[in-house]
Structure 1
Amino acid sequence: MTDLSQAMLDSMTQVADWVIVLPIVLALMGAAALLTFRRSNGVPLVGAIIVVLGIIACEIVLLLDVIVNGPASMTIGKWLPPFGISLTADLFGAAFALAASVVTLFVLIYAEIDRAGADRNDAFHAMVLLLLAGVTGAFLTGDLFNLYVWFEVMLIASFGLIVQGGRPVQIDGAIKYGFLNFLATTLFLLSLGLLYGLLGTLNMADIMRAAPLANPTAMAGVAALLLLAFGMKAAAFPVNAWLPASYHTPPAAVSALFAGLLTKVGAYALLRALVALLPASRDLLEPALAVIAMATLVIAPLGAIAETNLRRSIGFLVIGGIGAVMAGLATPSLNGIAGAGLYIFHAILTMTALYMVAGLIEKRTGFTDTRMMGGLYAASAPISIVFLVLILAAAGVPPFLGFWPKLLLLEAGLADGAAGWMGTAIVVALLINAVLTLIAGTRLWAHMFWRAGPIGEGTGHIAATLVALDGRGRLAFTVTAALVVGIVAIGLWPGPLMDGIAVGAADIADPARYVAATGLAGGSP
């Protein structure tokens, strides 16, 4: 048997590894089918739920396989790596893809609260599945150009979701969202061209092998472009203005989906590109990463404190969380990487739930401005409890889920601070972020729940007029509460998650197993 034949046999995809591509195939085919049946009453919702359940089942199998056997890879077509397009799943990618599918399932059910009879023939469910396909592909791809393709799929689907309804405020938000994200995608494509010119490959595993031999100055320039492009996608300071200007404009279900998925893909891409692919370039950019992290951590919650629109305020909290991921990038020890990865996982769940609760609050009060809300505590104690729990989780108060990634980041910063000022400054910024997030969240809670009613004109307070939730509203609250219970349970029992995140962080810091999964280990770059 020739060496080439043996290499082809060694690289053949095992049957179990087909679960890497099945979630993407199911999402794309499901989106196409639901677009065809969008005029059939009830079929799009039921069909979307069935498809997402199938995706979740595949991703559970994939995650268990990665936990037991390490990273798994599948190369499309008959071209061997690095020439073919590879899908490669490590623990981070598989866990994030599963979390994204779970919150999509919750949002699909929750979305019925805002869907009137006139909406029954739109392409909402197809667009949601298309968005999930893009997000899943981005988490599982092993090729940077393929990552660009999935970013485009996400952009098309999200643009379609943000304009559904056609209200002027949605069009305004879509223009801001679309322009800056198109700019980020253009910068990403430019960096890909430069990277291919320098290395002759865009396969992630191959880049890990070839990058150390390339011109370090040129590679640092490419890394800076990737930082700008992915930083804009993730809404890191100072390229974050598009998020609070757009996420409050669509229905609350769409806002929840965006908050849970879109910026987290950008944050994951930063983690993968700078720590795993280009670690030497990351070292050169470390001071800039530290400044970006600290600015994002401190400025974002200040924006939340100053804001009166509920969902715009939560948008600033989303941005503040990206600062925590940037802090992990700036202190790339195992604890720093684990903290960044765990924060992405936490934010996928928590920020989705926070926007879902915001939608329920807006539905009950009839307003989006917190100055016009009030009196909800006595009338909706369960909603008030759920909202407060999520604020505590977002701020990182123990023992809620958000505490554990911040604990890892604080440990990384303190260890790094022993050698210089940067780690200490990041620790201080993380603590300030926790305090400011708690202030912003409790301020919102006091305005909406504790205060007796809206702010009156010259009379202090006036009586609050609340709208009772109908059957769909009660279903939406049940779904939201179920997601929050899951978040609390993970926070109270974090052991398995912490163990898994430690393994995933080790694979990011030392990607030898990732490279071996593609069949490229041991060869010359």
Structure 2
Amino acid sequence: MGVRSRTFPALMLFLAAGLGGLFLTGDVFNFYVFFEISMTAAYILTGYREQDFQVRAAFIFAVINLLGSVLFLIGIAALYHVTGSLDMQVIAERIGRSNPSTVIPIATLIFVAFSLKLGLFPFHFWLPAVYVGSHAPVAAILSGALANIGSYGLLRFGAGVLPEELGFGAIVVLVLGVASIVYGALQAVSRHATNEVMAYSAIGQVGYILVALAIGGPIGYAAAFVYAIVNSLNKALVFLASGLRGPLAGAAFAVGAFSIAGVPPAAGFVGKVALFRTGIEGSAPGSGPLGGVAGGVAIVALIFVGSALSFVYSFQVYQRAFLARKNWQERRPSPRPARVLSILLAVFVLAVGLWPEPLLVLGEESASLLLEGEGRR
């Protein structure tokens, strides 16, 4: 992993504490506090090793993070002003009695804040610089952690706290998801550096979660949850393995890269099947923004095309990074602990793909909890 000082383990603990609190809290202000703890640790990790390009990436990350923090805090203050509470469940119950013209701008503000802080399309301009500039293990940590925070935040606030507003803006979310998939895939195909390819791939992969979230309902929410977990595992694996050398590291990278493309038996195949199911079953009349069979066919075709492009850039980057002879001859073998960690993560990705039932059950239960919250409004 290349740990050079005691700050790295401490920052990892801060990041883990922020993530744990963020997933456990039911208070919107505490959510903000834990979010900022995670982001602050991530910002410092981005500049780890203090090379010029890493400091530059950390500065970009800090500026965008501060802007997103201000917008997010304004949105939380507005929710408190409208509902008189910071408890997520109470807000979800009271917000339905408020004037939609008041709530929709608040929901938009919170969505923009998440988009800025997490690099969602079209607010992605800073994300490639941060992922490319970061040390490979740091990029692996950031990609996995940020993907989880963003997906959870969108599900918790969009589906759990502001479901009516999410339904109202479902078409916009769907369009942004489609644009993310196409833009991220095309940019990834056109790049050559491994980290740059995977950075643009991260933009495209979030688009699938946005599409599932826009479709909504038990199928859409479950698919969004499943794909969020799978995407987090995939990104952590490919960014970690991309900085390593050796046959085992190459095998681990191949598992992660082709999992992104949805090639069985990796976990990515499970996520893509869940998305296909969302497009097919969510196309029934009256079932969200699709509005019929034609919309469902379009979503399925989009997922298929996006997966094909993912396979193209995954194979290209694997060929350039691990099959070219000069890479094997000119670079020293990577430290054994890092290679072992990447192999263990690759084995876990394969295990999830071969035995997906626990993940699918968790996705369905999570969707049920979100829909129960909607029913109490």
Partner of residue 46, structure 2: 162
- Cα distance, 1:422–1:175 mapped onto 2, change above 3 Å: farther
1:415 pairs with 2:299: no
CA contact (8 A) 2:185 2:200 kept: yes
- More divergent stretch after superposition (420-429 vs 332-341): 420-429
Partner Cα distance (2:72, 2:8) in 1 = 28
Partner of residue 400, structure 1: 266
- Once the two structures are superposed, residues 425-479 of structure 1 have per-residue CA deviations (whole angstroms, 9 ceiling, x without a partner) of 333322222111111110111222334447xxxxxxxxx6333326xx1221111
1:467 pairs with 2:327: no
Q: More helix by proportion, 1 or 2?
A: 2
3-state DSSP class of the match of 1:417?
coil
Matches within 5 A, 1:112-123: 114-115=2-3, 119-120=4-5, 122-123=6-7
CA contact (8 A) 1:230 1:267 kept: no
Partner Cα distance (1:426, 1:176) in 2 = 34
Partner of residue 383, structure 1: 249
Partner Cα distance (1:504, 1:326) in 2 = 17
1:486 pairs with 2:359: no
- Provide the aligned C-alpha RMSD in A: 1.9
Matches within 5 A, 1:269-418: 269-361=153-245, 380-418=246-284
**Aligned AA for 2:315?**
T
Give the drift of 1:512. 7.6
CA contact (8 A) 1:131 1:154 kept: yes
**Rg (Cα) greater in structure:** 1
For structure 1, the residue ranges without an aligned partner over 5 or more in a row are: 1-110, 362-379, 455-463, 516-524
- Once the two structures are superposed, residues 148-199 of structure 1 have per-residue CA deviations (whole angstroms, 9 ceiling, x without a partner) of 1112111221121112222110121112111112111111111111111111
For structure 2, the residue ranges without an aligned partner over 5 or more in a row are: 286-290
Partner Cα distance (2:333, 2:319) in 1 = 21
**Aligned AA for 1:447?**
R
Partner of residue 93, structure 2: 209
Partner Cα distance (1:220, 1:165) in 2 = 43
Partner Cα distance (1:406, 1:333) in 2 = 18
Counting matched residue pairs gives 370
Task: Using the aligned pairs only, state the percent identity.
Answer: 29
CA contact (8 A) 2:279 2:299 kept: yes
Partner of residue 14, structure 2: 130
Partner Cα distance (1:163, 1:358) in 2 = 19
1:439 pairs with 2:312: yes
Give the drift of 1:422. 4.4
CA contact (8 A) 1:173 1:246 kept: yes
Partner of residue 111, structure 2: 227
CA contact (8 A) 1:195 1:222 kept: yes
Partner Cα distance (2:311, 2:196) in 1 = 16
Find the partner of 1:429 among 297, 302, 308.
302
- Once the two structures are superposed, residues 322-363 of structure 1 have per-residue CA deviations (whole angstroms, 9 ceiling, x without a partner) of 1111011111021111111011111222211111101104xx
- Once the two structures are superposed, residues 95-119 of structure 1 have per-residue CA deviations (whole angstroms, 9 ceiling, x without a partner) of xxxxxxxxxxxxxxxx2xx23xxx3
3-state DSSP class of the match of 1:150?
helix
1:498 pairs with 2:360: yes
